[in-house]
Amino acid sequence: QTQLVESGGGVVQPGTSLRLSCAASGFIFSAYGMHWVRQAPGKGLEWVAGIRYDGSNEYYADSVKARFIVSRDNTKNTLYLQLNRLRVEDTAVYYCARGGEKGFDAWGQGTMVTVSS
Amino acid sequence: EIVLTQSPGTLSLSPGERATLSCRASQNVFSSYLAWYQQKPGQPPRLLIYGASSRATGIPDRFSGSGSGTDFTLTISRLQPEDFAVYYCQQYGNSPYTFGQGTKLEIK
- Using CA of residue A90, residue A97, residue A29, residue A3, what is the dihedral sign? positive
B65 touches chain A (CB under 8 A): no
The confidence score (pLDDT) of residue B70 equals: 95
Q: What is the DSSP letter of B99?
A: B
Mean pLDDT by 10 residues, chain A (117 residues): 97 97 98 98 98 96 97 98 98 97 97 97
Distance (Å) from the alpha carbon of A42 to chain B's nearest alpha carbon: 10
At B74, is the pLDDT very low, low, confident or very high (cuts 50, 70, 90)? very high
Q: Check A45 against B39: CB less than 8 A apart.
A: yes
Q: What's the Cα-to-Cα distance from A81 to each of A6, A70, B101, rounded to whole Å?
A: 10, 5, 24
| pLDDT value at B32 more than 90 | no
A46 touches chain B (CB under 8 A): yes
The answer to whether residues B17 and B84 touch, using CB atoms and an 8 Å cutoff, is no
Q: How many CA atoms lie within 13 A of A98 on its CB side?
A: 23
Q: Which residue of B has its CA nearest to A109?
A: B44
| pLDDT value at B67 more than 90 | yes
Tell me how far apart the alpha carbons of residues B78 and B14 are, in angstroms, rounded to a whole number: 9
B96: nearest CB among A47, A102, A108: A47
